[in-house]
Amino acid sequence: MKKAMIAVAVILGIALVAGPAAAQTAPSKVVLKGSPMGGVNFDHAKHTKLAGGDAKCDTCHHASKPEKPLKSKTQKCQECHTKAVAAPMKTNTRGAFHDAMAKKGLCADCHTKAAAAGTKVPAKCADCHNVKG
């Protein structure tokens, strides 16, 4: 009887730990839409792998902000960062990924670092912005 109770406790513990992890499973691919230059096919799985084994969700997904709390840790960027900024947001979609000239920002900073390390990365706007519609 005691062994059965321990087994049930272990199974419940595993379910409680595995449950939140499973709920945070990211999609392997995402299409970032809304840019007049075309959407971006973002291979989430590839970028996670390239970021390294120690990459965490918050490497790209920033922490919740008091003025607009996140609904989940891996909420889609464009649920808050929209094309036209509406209070309390301060950063539009483009600004969330890179500045006006794509020289700095979340995407550009990482691509610049990877290129400096010898990794081939997109170098032109159309290398990323190529999804019609």
Say whether pTM exceeds 0.75. no
Q: What is the pLDDT of residues 108-119, one digit of tens each?
A: 998 999 999 999
Q: With respect to residue 124, please indicate whether it lies within any of the assigned structural domains.
A: no
Q: With respect to residue 133, please indicate whether it lies within any of the assigned structural domains.
A: no
Q: What is the pLDDT of residues 81-121, one digit of tens each?
A: 888 888 888 899 899 899 999 999 989 998 999 999 999 99
Q: With respect to residue 130, please indicate whether it lies within any of the assigned structural domains.
A: no
In this prediction, what percent of the chain has a pLDDT beyond 90?
Answer: 26
**Helix segments in 1-133, DSSP class H:** 2-23, 44-51, 93-97, 106-116, 125-128
DSSP character string of 83-115: SS--TT----HHHHH--TTSSSSHHHHHHHHHH
Number of separate domains in the chain: 1
Q: Containing domain of residue 108, as a range? A: 2-118
